[in-house]
Structure 1
Amino acid sequence: MTAAQTPNVEPGAPSPIASLPNLRDLGDWEAADGRRVKAGRVYRTADFSGLTDSDARLFESLGVRTVYDLRSASERAAVPDPEFDGVANLALDVLADSSTAIPANLRHFLDDPATAAKVNAELSGGGAVEAITDTYRSMVALPSAHAAYRRFFLGLAGEDTAPAAFHCTTGKDRTGWAAATLLTLLGVSREDVFTDYLLTNERLVPALKPVFDTFAAAGGEPDLLLPILGVREEYLLAAFDEVDTRYGSLSGYFADGLGLDETVADALRATFLK
C-alpha cells in the first residue's frame, strides 16, 4: 500500500509490524483547530535490530522515503540501520554532547543484563529516574540536541522527502521528545501528546521480556529496569518544564533554541495536518 492509499488510522494504533513493536503512525491525532494529523506521513519507532526479512518488506510498503536516526555514532556502529531502496538515512546525534546519558548507552542494558550486581547498585535509590529526568532536560538544552532537532524539523518541513520515520535505540526518549514537540507544534493537546508518549510502556516493555528475564536470572531485580526501559510522565514533564524555563514557550524553543522561524512551523502544519 502506498502512502497515498494509506487510510486513516486510530490515533496510537498498534504497530502493523510485529518485529517493530514500538513503531506507530503519528497520524489522526486531533489538533486544536479541528484538523487531524495526516496518517501515513510520519512514523516513530525503535531501531531496526529486531526487524525480520519478511517484516522488512512490510516496512517498505509504508512508503517511507527518509529515516532520521537520532542515535549516537557508537549506537549506529553497533547496530547499523538497514539500507532500503530509495530511502535516505540521516544521522542526527541528539546526545553527542553528553557521553554519560543513559538513553545513548541503552545497549549496555539490552545486550549485557548479566552484570546484575553492578546495575543493581547503579539503579537503586531512584538514581536512574533522576538521571533520565536530567537527560530529558539536556535534550532541550544541549547544542547537539539543538542541531539535531533543527535538522529534523527542517527535513519534515520540506528539505527531505516524505513519508518519514524517526528513531533512536528503543524509540522512547530522543524519539519521544521529537514526537511530543512535533505533535504539540501541530496543535495536538497535551493530554494526547502524553498518551502517545506513554504507549511505549504497553508496546515496547512487554517485547523486552527476555531482557528482564535474563536480568532476573543473573540475580537482578527486574523492576529496577523499568525506569530505564520504559517511560514516565515525569520525564516528558521535565523536558517541557525546561522549555518553559529557558524559552518561555514551545514557540520560543523553536525560535531561540532551534533557530527556526514561523515559516517552518507553518510548513509543518501545512504538510502534516488535513
Structure 2
Amino acid sequence: MSHSVTARSIKLLCLSLLLAGVIAPTASAATQAAPTAPTTTKANTAKYSSASSSSYVIPAKPNPDHRVVLSGTRNTRDMGGIKTADGKWQIRPKALIRSDRLYRLDDHDVTVLSHDYNVKNVVDFRTPGQVAGSPDAAIPGAPITYLSIFGPQAAANHGLGDGDFYGSRLELGYYAITGYRQFLNSLLTNKGATLFHCVTGKDRTGIAAVLILSALGMDKQTTVDDFMLSNFYYGREAVKQSWIDEYYQVISQNYTNISNYLTRELNFPVAKREQLKARYLVSTDGKNTPYSSAYTTAKPNPSVPTTPAPSTPKPATPAPVTKPSTTTTVTEAGQGDTIKPAKKAKKTVKITATKKRHTKYIYRLKGHKVWFKDAHLKHSKGKTAKSAKTKWRITKQETIKINGKKATYLKVQDNHHHTAWILKKYVVKIKQ
C-alpha cells in the first residue's frame, strides 16, 4: 500500500515539474509533439544542358527589364543592360532588340516597338521562302533589310549534328559570313533602335547576338548566357550548350579566337568595334556616360582660345636615325600586344605544275602546321588544329618553287566544302 502511494506521488511530482518546464520531454515525445517545420524550397532554376553536361544555370525568371512583352512574339528581348567584361560599361536600353518572326504583331505590338522602343531598323535573317510565307508586320518608319543567313534556300542539316550545323552554316558558310558582315557594319550608321530576328529568334538571331556582344567586349560566359536564355521562352531543349560550344570550338580551330574571326571574316576590326562601343555602350555608374577610349579623340573646346607659345629658334641639328617603331594592338582581353614591324617579304613563289586529284581515301592533317588559303601562299590561314578531328579529301596538287626550291602542296577539302593548301608531308592517309 505504501509502495503504490509512493509511486503515485513520484509520478505526480514529475508531471508537475514537466508542466512547469523544469525538465525537458524525451526525444521521442519531443518529436511527436513538435509541429513539422515548413520546408523552404529554392527558387526554380532553369538549367540549360545538353546530352553531355552544362555548367550554365540562370534564373527561371530573367530580368524582366530585358523582355519586350508582345502578344505576337515569344522571344523578343532588349539587349540593354548587358555588361562588358570589366563591368564598367553596358548596352544602352532600347537600342538593340533581338526577336523572332514578326508576322503576328497586332496594332498594340507595333505601337510598343515603334513608340516605346523607337525601332527604326528591322533586319530579317530568314530565307526568301520563309519571308514570303509569313511576311513581317510593318513598323512605321522602320524599313526592313533582308539578309538571308542560309542563302536563297532554307537550311538543311544534310546529316550533320546540330553542333556541326552551327559551325558549318552559321559560322563558315558563305551567306552567313556575308550576311553577318553587312549586319555588323550597318550597326555603325543605323539611327534609332535596330531590331533583328529570324523565325524563332534563337539560332540565326542567337549567333548575331553572340557577335554583337563579342564585338562590344562582353566575355564568353555572358554571350553564352544570353544565347541559352532562349530556353526560358521556348522550352528546355530549344537550344543546347553543345551547339554554342561547337561554334566556339570551330572558331578556336580556324581563327584562334573570336576577335580574329571578326577581323578576318566579318571585316570588323578593333577600330570598328570601338566605334560600335561608342555608339551603344554607356557607363554602369548610374550616369549613363557614353563610352570613350583612346580611339575616340577629344574635340577642342571652342570657348577656350588657344595661342601657340613663342618658340625660340634653335640651331639645326641632323635628324636622328630612327628605327622602325613597334605597334600595339588591342586583343580580346583588352591587353596590348607589342608586335614587331613586319620585314619585307623576300620569298618568291612560282607554280610549275598542276594536277587534279580524285581519291577515295580520307586524310587527316598534322596538328599545328601552317596552311594557306591559296596556292601562291600569300594568304595564310594560320595553323591547323593541335588535335586533328576533321576528315579531308585531296582535290588538287601543285608543284611549287619557293626561292628556287621545289615543294609539293595539296589542296584539301572537308565535307563542308572548306578548302585549304598545305604541304604534302603534313597530310596523312587514314582508313575509311
Normalised to the residue count of structure 1, the TM-score between the two structures is: 0.73
227, 250, 274: which one aligns with 2:258:
250
CA positional deviation for 1:98: 6.7
Asked if 1:150 corresponds to 2:181, the answer is yes
2:176 maps to a residue whose letter is A
CA distance in 2, matches of 1:248, 1:98: 31
Alignment of 1:201-212 (within 5 A): 201-205=231-235
Considering only CA atoms, is the larger Rg found in Structure 1 or Structure 2? 2
Higher helix share: 1
* 2:100 corresponding residue in structure 1: 46
* 1:95 corresponding residue in structure 2: 150
Structure 1 residues 10 and 239: alpha-carbon distance in aligned structure 2, compared to 1, 3 A threshold:
same
Structure 1 residues 97 and 79: alpha-carbon distance in aligned structure 2, compared to 1, 3 A threshold:
closer
Normalised to the residue count of structure 2, the TM-score between the two structures is: 0.47
Secondary structure in structure 2 of the residue aligned to 1:140:
coil
Alignment of 1:1-274 (within 5 A): 10=63, 13-33=66-86, 34-61=88-115, 62-96=117-151, 99-101=154-156, 131-137=161-167, 138-158=169-189, 160-205=190-235, 227=237, 230-274=238-282
| Structure 1 runs, 4 residues or longer, greater than 6 Å off | none
Secondary structure in structure 2 of the residue aligned to 1:164:
strand
CA distance in 2, matches of 1:93, 1:261: 23
1:196 maps to a residue whose letter is D
2:96 maps to a residue whose letter is V
CA positional deviation for 1:10: 4.4
Deviates more, 1:90-99 or 1:182-191: 90-99
Per-residue deviation, residues 185-214 of structure 1 (Å, max 9, x unmatched): 212222222221111111134xxxxxxxxx
Give structure 2 stretches of 5+ with no counterpart: 1-61, 283-432
1:86 maps to a residue whose letter is G
Give the superposed CA RMSD. 2.2
* 1:211 corresponding residue in structure 2: none
Structure 1 residues 97 and 139: alpha-carbon distance in aligned structure 2, compared to 1, 3 A threshold:
farther
CA positional deviation for 1:166: 0.3
CA distance in 2, matches of 1:264, 1:238: 27
Higher RCO, Cα 8 Å, sep 6+: 1
CA positional deviation for 1:157: 1.6
CA distance in 2, matches of 1:143, 1:162: 29
Give structure 1 stretches of 5+ with no counterpart: 1-8, 103-121, 206-225
2:205 maps to a residue whose letter is T
Secondary structure in structure 1 of the residue aligned to 2:247:
helix
Per-residue deviation, residues 213-266 of structure 1 (Å, max 9, x unmatched): xxxxxxxxxxxxx75xx1111111111111111111111111111122322211
Per-residue deviation, residues 89-122 of structure 1 (Å, max 9, x unmatched): 10001111775436xxxxxxxxxxxxxxxxxxx9
CA positional deviation for 1:81: 1.4
- Give aligned-pair identity as a percent: 25
Whether the 8 Å CA contact 1:172–1:231 is kept in 2: the answer is: yes
CA distance in 2, matches of 1:89, 1:273: 24
Structure 1 residues 251 and 12: alpha-carbon distance in aligned structure 2, compared to 1, 3 A threshold:
farther
CA positional deviation for 1:171: 0.3
CA positional deviation for 1:21: 2.1
Whether the 8 Å CA contact 1:11–1:26 is kept in 2: the answer is: no
